[in-house]
């Protein structure tokens, strides 16, 4: 019981020890005494300690969030640099091909495409298939039928 109520800061035998400047600075930093030398009650000390711990926690979370944001921004920056480099490399690869295209080559490609389109598109025959420009018997019959009308 005697030790539960004992406070070393109020002990008259330790006044010389606690009057040392280095010890007083340590007690102030620890939050046990105020700047004026007043002894802080235990409830107030615990409340102040909880506030300090909470403040340290909040500052740690804030520092962590800032570092994550900086890393995220740096990652996005590196991705943008990589994207631009790939784009410029692709353009440099395509640029010489476009420069080498000569008008005669372009004309040859255009003509070959026209031929392909002409061959694959349906169109009526230009000349009869029969020799001596004779009409097919069915066509000749159709023509005679048309003339009768």
Residues 35 and 53 grouped into a single domain: no
Mean pLDDT on 9-18: 88
Q: State the number of CA atoms in the 13 A half-sphere of 124 facing the CB.
A: 3
pTM of model > 0.85? no
Residue 67 included in any domain: yes
Residues 20 and 62 grouped into a single domain: no
Residues 52 and 96 grouped into a single domain: yes
pLDDT confidence band for 103 (50 / 70 / 90)? low
pLDDT confidence band for 117 (50 / 70 / 90)? low
Residues 44-80 have pLDDT tens digits of 999 999 999 999 999 999 999 999 999 999 999 999 9
How many domains does the structure of the chain reveal?
Answer: 2
Residues 64 and 94 grouped into a single domain: yes
Cβ atoms within 10 Å, residue 40 = 18
Residue 88 included in any domain: yes
Least confident of 8-17, 90-99, 107-116, 138-147: 138-147
* Alpha carbon distance 14, 8 (integer Å): 7
Render the burial of 101-138: b for 16+ CB within 10 Å, e for the rest: eeeeeeeeeeeeeeeeeeeeeeeeeeeeeeeeeeeeee
Range of the domain at 20: 1-40
pLDDT given for residue 6 in this prediction? 83
Residues 52 and 95 grouped into a single domain: yes
């Amino acid at each position: 019981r005697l030790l539960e109520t004992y406070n070393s800061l109020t002990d008259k035998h330790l006044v010389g020890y606690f009057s040392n400047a280095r010890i007083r600075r340590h007690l102030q930093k620890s939050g046990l005494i105020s700047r004026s030398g007043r002894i802080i009650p235990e409830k107030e000390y615990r409340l102040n300690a909880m506030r300090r711990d909470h403040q340290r926690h909040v500052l740690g979370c804030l520092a962590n969030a800032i570092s994550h944001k900086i890393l995220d921004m740096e990652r996005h920056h590196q991705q943008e640099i990589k994207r631009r480099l790939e784009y410029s490399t692709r353009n440099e690869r395509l640029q010489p091909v476009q420069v080498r295209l000569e008008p005669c080559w372009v004309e040859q490609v255009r003509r070959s495409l026209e031929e392909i389109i002409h061959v694959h598109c349906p169109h009526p025959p230009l000349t009869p298939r029969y020799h001596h420009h004779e009409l097919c018997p069915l066509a000749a019959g159709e023509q005679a039928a048309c003339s009768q009308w």
